[in-house]
């Protein structure tokens, strides 16, 4: 039972991470700091890897579930993405 709960939590959080990072990556301009761009790519790749591992049958550890859920919760905040990925100059929000 715990296995299914952990897998479900990690997959749902990873889907949220992918859904939130993909538009952020698409909106980044050449003015976006390199470290922010790399961080979002790593978040998206890590979330995709988590989904693949769970689909293969791997059971994530509970600290992984906590961290993945925490990252997904941070990315849900619309405000956080606006600070990290400001719109290109010349466009009004």
Q: How far apart are CA 33 and CA 16, in angstroms?
A: 23
Q: Which residue has the tokens 């991470």?
A: 17
* Residues 6+ away with beta carbon under 8 Å from 51: 11, 14, 15, 18
Q: What is the pLDDT of residue 28?
A: 87
* Residues 6+ away with beta carbon under 8 Å from 34: none
User: pLDDT tens digit string along 2-48?
Assistant: 899 999 999 999 999 999 999 888 988 888 889 989 999 999 999 99
pTM given for the model: 0.79
Q: What are the domain boundaries of the chain?
A: 2-84
């Amino acid at each position: 039972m715990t296995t299914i709960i952990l897998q479900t939590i990690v997959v749902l959080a990873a889907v949220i991470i992918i859904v939130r990072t993909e538009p952020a990556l698409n909106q980044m301009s050449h003015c976006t700091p390199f470290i922010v761009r790399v961080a979002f790519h790593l978040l998206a790749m890590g979330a995709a890897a988590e989904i693949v591992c769970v689909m293969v049958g791997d059971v994530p550890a509970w600290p992984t579930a906590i961290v993945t859920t925490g990252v997904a919760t941070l990315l849900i905040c619309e405000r956080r993405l606006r600070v990290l990925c400001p719109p290109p100059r010349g466009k009004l929000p």
